[in-house]
Structure 1
Amino acid sequence: MFSVGRREREEKRTKSMIRCQIKQSGAGRGGASGREHQHHRHHHVGDGGAVFETSYASYKMGTPKGMVTGGVIHKSKGTDEVERMKAKGESQTGAIAQGAETPLWTMLPKDLIEKVFAFLPLHSLFQARCVCKCWKSVGFSNNLVKLRAEAPVSPPYFPVFLSKGEDRRWCAYDHVQRKWLYLPPLTFLPKEAKHILAGDGGLLCLSESPSTALNYVCNPVTRSLKRVPSLSQDYEPGITHMVVNGKSQGFKMIVTLTHYLESTHVFESRKNSWQATSCLPPHFLLWGRRSSAYCKGFLYCVALEIGGMNMEGLIAYDVNSGVWTDVHGLPRGMRDDPYVLSCGGRVLVVAAQKNTNGRLTSIRIVEFEPVSKRFLEVTEMPQNVMLDVFKCRGGWKPVAFGDKICVASKKTLSVAVYDMVRRSWHELPKCPLNTKVDVATFCYGPSLQSLQ
């Protein structure tokens, strides 16, 4: 009790001395100025000119005993800290207010913004375009397209299911998010561009039907469309394959025309023209559901020998030189419905066997080694997985990327996946489309790839 009473007396004495100092200061400067000075927070006392704090709360925070010396009240250590905190807060508030008037992102160099945008996911880039006019102009610049082509890209979506209805819906599976995604509808395409022949690098090749030559190339993300110069219509097109070069921002389309000696034609987007190259070796035709796979500069297809042993084998087309290589015979049991795939720099052949009722009995995968010219067994789909995916008769198509191979059923909309790293099979959730569909033999990765 004694200490509390003593503290109260000290506080009262200090208050009275403060009031006396204020009155003396007001009397020396005039009544009006003195009264006005009482409302100020800081005052000059006597001739010493020392600054002090009249706030009792500040004094109570840390005023030690014996603070009043020589008629001057000095600021305590606690009061100094309060002053510094207040000054710091005022400076930060001013900076925030100034930043609100001039956003910081408007001060960033354009080349720095382009480098940051190059690594953004595509949906995040679309959102960034809506921030301001500066970011919108950067988001549509040609230099950004080149930077995004050089930057690491996310894995594409696969498999891709295409609706056969007039709504032109399509969806694909994202293996990163592990869910099905509805892709941008293709309603901007003309009615004659009904069938998708091939795709790569975010671009699609289209034609009026599977039996007619390609007519258009489009980018569903940018909704851009380009009509391709017409090719000879005398023969039905065999294989159509697209190869996109991200660095040069160009693409090639390789088309074979079906007749006795299948001729090969290559379209280059930079030249906007077709060029006829070599034909297949004599007595061979492209076979195996007209499937093809591009790997390390070569386009691999399945060829069938006409006459003789009717051998089916793997044949490669050198895209740079425009020459076909020799045919390498497929192993036994791989000659029914063979598909050629490219998976992580490896060339694979997927084939199925059916019973007399047309039901699938097995699906095998083998790998072709270009150096040794041999086929190595990879795996065979387990019977329980096959029964779950292919519950009834129906078409099937495989597609691969990275270390995963997907085998999709067009009838049940189910997908079986083989992981080449874990060497195991598993099933994906069922495709959400509820209409008649077709399965694409390519992967789709959204991009800003131009059509030039």
Structure 2
Amino acid sequence: MWSDLPEHLMERILECLPVDCFFRFRAVCKTWNSLFSSQHFNSIARNSQPFLILCPAKTQLPSLIYSFVTHTWRTISLSFIPHDRPINFRGSASGLLLADINTNFLFGYNSSMLCVCNPLTQMYSTLPEMISVSKIMAKAIFPAGNKTDEYSVMVVGMSSTGTVLVEAYNSTTKAWKVAGSIPDVVLRSENVFFFKGYLLGMTASGGIMAYNIEQGITSVMAMPTADANNLRARIVCCKSGVFVVGAIEENHCLKGVIVWEFVFEKTEEEDYKWEEIWKMPSSVCEEFRRSSNSNWFECVGVGDKICLRANESMEILVYDVSKRSWNWLPNFPADFRYVSMRCLQLEVMPSTKFS
């Protein structure tokens, strides 16, 4: 019966499925898997709600994904990436994860290798060596062009002469090129974000770097509060914009959490301003503080939501930007509590054409 079912009816069935069911759907048979390349599936996937994914450093361990539609956790495997070294997942775009694979424990970033993978189709591609950057500070992945199978990777790092450069990889040309240089700026070893032609990242001195890719101009912006010395901040990109989530500390203890929006506004003196949009309620803050044994936390934008996780916590707090509200996700399985995991956004997208 199933083998005789017309393809257009199968596509109608796809419309009725929660998007996270696609991970199991594609594994049934070759015919069902081939539906992922159909134009109809592309439109379904492109308009779907993205997932929150928690990736462990070792791909032999399963990853966790949370669906905001079905409100459930599921496990997926990234073991198709053929490396037993620790992996740092540094960002996502168009259904792809950017992985930073440490190939030599002794030399750190000097010997890391970048790879992109599609968890849905279980495909991956190792990027070629960069042409100028020898020590990576930060990296990002984002869509390139209007096609779903095109992407770009940008890396900020030092050359052998000590110059801070921006290198860009394009999936169409399959090559790196130097996009510009950034004078006198040292970034933290974490993600950078692409937004409205700017590359944004946290500097080691506590400011926020904005690099205009088209003009090649770098500016460093102050933090949105004067009490920056007691602020542990993270940049978050959501569907609606760029935000800074700041944890206010006092005697190394969490005192409060504030969310600021980064507003691009051309004035005579500056191109931006900060707008405080929400403070974490004291009762929620107290619960968030109890969920961890340290003041460390991570956060990521998923659609129009900001997801926060305290150190080794089984609880994830979500701030809904559109509704201006806080809520907790269901706890994920206890077996994952002490597994070092990184929170990322994951979209469900059709197969990317890797070489």
TM-score class, shorter-chain normalisation, is: 0.7 to 0.9
Q: Hey, which of these two has a bigger chunk of strand by percent?
A: 2
Structure 2 equivalent of residue 419 of structure 1: 320
Query: Counting helix residues as a fraction of each chain, which structure ranks higher?
Result: 1
Matching residue within 215, 228, 245 for 1:350: 245
List runs of 5+ in structure 1 lacking aligned partners. 1-99, 305-309
Q: Percent of counterpart pairs with the same letter? A: 19
Question: Normalising to structure 1: TM-score of the pair?
Answer: 0.64
CA distance in 1, matches of 2:98, 2:218: 26
Q: Give the aligned CA root-mean-square deviation in angstroms.
A: 3.2
Q: CA deviation at 1:421?
A: 2.9
The amino acid that maps onto 2:112 is: A
Counterpart in the other structure of 2:152: 252
1:241 CA displacement: 0.5
User: 1:370 aligns to what?
Assistant: 264
Matched, 1:381 2:277: no
| TM alignment of 1:258-407, pairs within 5 A | 258=158, 260-280=162-182, 282-287=183-188, 290-303=190-203, 312-319=206-213, 321=214, 323-331=216-224, 332-334=226-228, 336-356=231-251, 358-372=252-266, 373-391=272-290, 392-393=293-294, 395-407=296-308
Q: Is the 8 A contact 1:241 1:253 kept in 2?
A: yes
For residue 348 of structure 1, report the CA deviation from its aligned partner.
0.6
Distance 1:363 1:125, change over 3 A: closer
Q: TM-score w.r.t. structure 2 length? A: 0.80
Q: Which amino acid aligns with 1:380?
A: K
Aligned pairs for 1:117-196 within 5 A: 119=15, 121=19, 123=21, 127=25, 135-136=31-32, 138-139=34-35, 141=37, 144=38, 147-151=40-44, 152-158=46-52, 160-164=53-57, 167-182=60-75, 184-192=76-84, 194-195=86-87, 196=89
Structure 1 counterpart of 2:319, which letter?
Y
Q: Determine the C-alpha separation between the residues in 2 that align with 1:129 and 1:430.
A: 27
Count of aligned residue pairs for this structure pair: 330
User: Secondary structure of the residue that 1:386 maps to in structure 2?
Assistant: helix
369-378 or 387-396, which deviates more = 387-396
Given that 1:295 and 1:345 are in contact with CA atoms closer than 8 Å, whether structure 2 keeps it comes out as: no
Note if contact 2:156-2:165 (Cα within 8 Å) is conserved in structure 1.
yes
Gaps of 5+ in 2: 103-107, 267-271
Query: Within 2, Cα distance between the matches of 1:153 and 1:279?
Result: 36
2: distance between equivalents of 1:291 and 1:137? Answer: 33
- Offset, 1:270: 0.9
Q: Runs of 4+ in structure 1 displaced over 6 angstroms?
A: none
Cα 1:147–1:122, aligned 2, differ >3 Å: closer, same or farther?
farther
CA contact (8 A) 1:343 1:402 kept: yes
Q: Corresponding residue for 1:237?
A: 136
Going from structure 1 to structure 2, the CA distance change for 1:374 and 1:189 (only over 3 Å counts) comes to same
Note closer, same or farther for the CA distance 1:251–1:316 as it changes in structure 2 (3 Å cut).
same
SS of structure 2 residue aligned to 1:216 = strand
Q: 2:101 aligns to what?
A: 208
Match of 2:105 in 1: none
Structure 1 residue 221: Cα displacement: 1.8
